[in-house]
Structure 1
């Protein structure tokens, strides 16, 4: 099996838990996720399966979209509802109008301090391990980008939110920082990832649905084929001679008319500069390679996919 599966992760599971279960279900060792979800989080967890894991590097900058709920009144040491309160509950009664002015400084390009309970390394040791041992340490800010941070319903001490951000952004830190700006402190109560790049909640299966598909031998029907991945990249079709050259790592030259644009829609990748890359298909519409321009119209394969058996 080669392609992608989109799992709607349940609360309480780690991303690694999901990978292990999917490996057993699809009977394939090569399964990897495209961005960790905390155990508290639910929603979109895309997985690449088989030869498609070679495409993982091209998903590292994909945008993420989240919806969730914030509890104002006190902060916690983990920045979410799983942690210990860092003060008395002030039980505020807030309005959207009172909170929205504090969002302005939390969008755009930011220097964000990760949560103390995170996998960020401090002198080679994960921050969460040091935090559990009550060690004192300092985490350095990291550059992130937040495209949208909007509030929905605000009722009493609770506020619903929508965030769209670049990969690597900690939603818990955004919520914590908003609580500090607004005054009473805040922590994350619920969070659901509704999109990761081109993968959305509408595409997602629960693990139970995937188990049913495996029992009924319907896995090929729920797997997203490799030919449909990275739809935003331009594409070109090559003849058998150019296909052979690519499969041996050789460069190919294409005319402008051979290169077709990728899917146009809402942005799904970061705004950071990237080299011009395209998907190369053979005449059977099988994905052969991801190639990168080295001079105009001359492309070198970055990743070559195995030929079908």
Structure 2
């Protein structure tokens, strides 16, 4: 079995995120593998997985921002808001101009309320929304706050629109396609999606499963923590308190989890601010 750490995969189209987890379990020699942020089968790109104790980092990685390249097809709405669903309406886009498309897309930037797509992994009364839709149920999800940090329009070649999005975790790019089509009165859905980054991990460090099969690359847990969170180096006394899961008399420089390290460079835990002190989120020693 390999040492605990993160595995960054460039997912191929047609695979579920669980398919990737299964492959990495075999490569790592352990069943203790999880992933941060589901990618739809149609989507490609960055999928971050944790092996062994590093799986405990994943819930915190899911809170980071993500980046995508996407292609939207206007004039056609589907049941899933992407190309894998059934067509529910078709309308001409003759009356839609490039300027109007760009103006509407600009409205998505910032803090917005977004209704997730019904075919999603969100749980409704303990059951995944996509499972309820598959069973023929009507699913209505509530709007939730998300943040679109940046939305770049690369090309408007109607009926297709190519964009890049940098957004908070929990944002559905399919919902942007759906809502853009609704705002323009013609419908819309996603035809291509590639995730280019999860937090600090981007395509430059991602490897396909085929590449991992030839040379399995695991980023050690200490390096993963340094790459993912603000770093705080502790003295011997503070490190001793961490090993017992105690709060520290320490003012952390920012909100959110911080990776704390022993004087010898060993990764100890994630701590977060709590008033004038710091409290443990997850201890790894």
Q: TM-score, normalised by structure 1?
A: 0.83
Kept in 2, the 8 Å contact 1:92–1:157? The answer is no
Aligned counterpart in structure 2 of residue 172 of structure 1, from 174, 178, 190: 174
**Secondary structure of the structure 2 residue equivalent to 1:79:** coil
Aligned counterpart in structure 2 of residue 237 of structure 1, from 234, 237, 252: 234
**Secondary structure of the structure 2 residue equivalent to 1:86:** strand
Aligned-partner Cα distance in 1 for 2:48–2:130: 25
Q: Deviations over 1:165-207 (max 9, x none)?
A: 1111111111110011122211100000001101101110100
User: Within 5 A, what are the aligned runs for 1:15-34?
Assistant: 15-34=17-36
Aligned counterpart in structure 2 of residue 281 of structure 1, from 261, 274, 283: 261
1:153 positional shift: 1.4
Aligned-partner Cα distance in 1 for 2:130–2:147: 23
1:146 positional shift: 1.3
2:284 maps to which residue? 305
Aligned-partner Cα distance in 1 for 2:234–2:167: 33
1:116 aligns with 2:118: yes
Aligned-partner Cα distance in 1 for 2:124–2:53: 34
User: Within 5 A, what are the aligned runs for 1:47-66?
Assistant: 47-66=49-68
1:269 maps to which residue? none
1:95 positional shift: 4.9
Aligned-partner Cα distance in 1 for 2:26–2:101: 46
Aligned counterpart in structure 1 of residue 242 of structure 2, from 238, 242, 246: 246
1:40 positional shift: 0.8
2:11 maps to which residue? 9
1:224 aligns with 2:203: no
1:3 positional shift: 1.2
Gaps of 5+ in 1: 214-218, 262-272
Aligned-partner Cα distance in 1 for 2:238–2:109: 45
1:88 aligns with 2:68: no
More moved, 149-158 vs 19-28: 149-158
Aligned-partner Cα distance in 1 for 2:87–2:281: 49
**Secondary structure of the structure 1 residue equivalent to 2:111:** strand
Kept in 2, the 8 Å contact 1:78–1:117? The answer is yes
Aligned counterpart in structure 1 of residue 38 of structure 2, from 26, 36, 39: 36
User: Within 5 A, what are the aligned runs for 1:145-160?
Assistant: 145-160=147-162
**Secondary structure of the structure 2 residue equivalent to 1:75:** strand
Q: Deviations over 1:90-121 (max 9, x none)?
A: 26486532311112332222221111222233
Q: CA RMSD in A?
A: 2.3
More moved, 119-128 vs 96-105: 119-128
Gaps of 5+ in 2: none
